[in-house]
Amino acid sequence: MQSDLWLAQLILSFHILIIAFNVFGLIAIPLGGWRGWQWVRIFWWRALHLATLFVVAAQALLGRACFFTIWQSRLQEAAGRQGYRLPLIQTWIDHLLFWHLPMIFFTTVYVLVWIGVLLLWWKVPPVLPWRRP
């Protein structure tokens, strides 16, 4: 039981890191493109950012909660705690801001963010590893 709770907290920590990575990229890429920061053009970093946000948008379009939220919730329940009934971000917003928004709102936001990242791929193109100056 205690190991389930520990693993649930580990998954939560990793989930928060992924969320922070995605939000950081949304800020750093356009800012770095404007400021001329070359590191925001690193191909593998940009591809990873695009891929993680694609997974978020795809899960939302399929009407599914993030698999990290599901795993964490099941482990919390196995440890005798209450699990999540909504996706993690929706749960946080619900708890922090008391907004009762439908899943379609979050789906729309996730898809629009992913489209924005696709546009950043074009506006601030990454440097392909085989084409380094």
Buried b or exposed e, range 7-29, using 16+ CB within 10 angstroms: bbeebbeebeebbeebeebbebb
pTM: 0.77
pLDDT at residue 118 in the model: 96
Interatomic CA distance for residues 72 and 83, integer angstroms: 8
Structural domain boundaries in the chain: 2-131
CA–CA gap between residue 62 and residue 23 (Å, rounded): 22
Could you report the per-residue pLDDT of 69-120, keeping only the tens digit for each? Answer: 888 888 888 887 776 666 666 666 556 545 677 889 989 999 999 999 999 9
Where is pLDDT greater, at 15 or 88?
15
CA distance 131 to 80: 54
- How buried is 49 (Cβ within 10 angstroms: 0-12 exposed, 13-18 middle, 19+ buried)? buried
